[in-house]
Structure 1
Amino acid sequence: MDYLVFCRDRPDTGELLASLLERHWSFMDGYADRLKARGPTLSADGEEHTGSLHIVDLAIPEEVEVFAYREPFYAAGAYADVMIRRWENLLDRSMWDYRTDSDDPMFLVIAHAGAPIAEIADMHRSFAARHLSRTVVYGSMRMPEGGEWAGFAAVLQMPSREDVEKIVADDPVITSSAIAHHEIHRWEMGGRR
């Protein structure tokens, strides 16, 4: 089963993260064949690490706990919080399958569920269809226990944050009661260079 693990950094952890980078990459090497996406969220100027996103195939709940809480950044206290959601990959691809010649930045959009609405599945898929050529990964989030719909997440490659904000403002799913709130983060593909 795929899981989305999103972690937010504590303030002023840049030096700690830098000192643990090789340990983090070595830990992730153990999941290399199961990762669908990985990479840091960044400050608006792209200079500072603010968190991380991993989408990974994990077989049992104990594996989820190990992946999220034994990861070196988390174990050293670099993260303020961790969000874990089951992931339904609506594009049936990983970030490595995404092809582009663009140098435009990438942005992670996380839309957290609000009131459920019956037609959400069709509306939800329409978001991806309109932006498919610029969508790195896209999927539905569900709660780990019980499987209730928890919203969706997408990584989009766009010229600017303002372009992403316009897409979000025009999207009928995000602006409906189905979404309680959303967040947009600068993001880049991670892993060893």
Structure 2
Amino acid sequence: MVWRRYDMRHECQEILPGLLLGPFVVSKSLEALTNLQITHIVCIRDAKEAFSVKPRYPERFQYLVLDVEDNEEQNLIRLFPAANQFITSALAQGGRVLVHCNGGISLSPAFVIMFVMQHHRISWEDALHMVQNRRYCISPNGGFLTQIKEYESIYRANLAVAQYPGAQRNVRRKREDDDEEVGGREDKRPLIDVTSSHDANAMET
């Protein structure tokens, strides 16, 4: 069992249908990628690793490369929308996506957890457990976990706004109507005064 667990660190696991998470070593094997029917690859790497962690088969697969730093100060939330769009588009086309960093332990799992959380509209804890149950060795650093927690509030707020677009339009329309009504009253007042003054002068003449 111990040896099996060790081997899992060097393999990839399917987290959601069509979404796989693993280490860089998997992305180097054309045979493995072909057997897994991978069509898209998200390559997440520390900038210092760019010379070795890079797309190996750009003519065979569609790649998204994200240069990040594997430390607690790295802003993942700012980079996540690009990964989210790439993965969502690939899955919608019936593709299969491999998300990897160097070891598949901290960086790439953080992105996958955020994707799972938003995709299933679940809490960060449930998303973490879902991913960890499929790839037991993941361990996002403390800074990444903090951002994963923060992202739950962000995606839920965006979801709430998306669910009530009509209410926003009604508020905006009411404000526009109020502005027009106020403007109309201001326009009519001087017209009455000017006309009255002009008629009076004409009568005196």
Same fold by TM-score greater than 0.5: no
TM-score range relative to shorter protein: under 0.3
Relative contact order, CA 8 A, sep 6+: which one is greater? 1
Q: Return the TM-score normalized by structure 1.
A: 0.25
More strand by share: 1
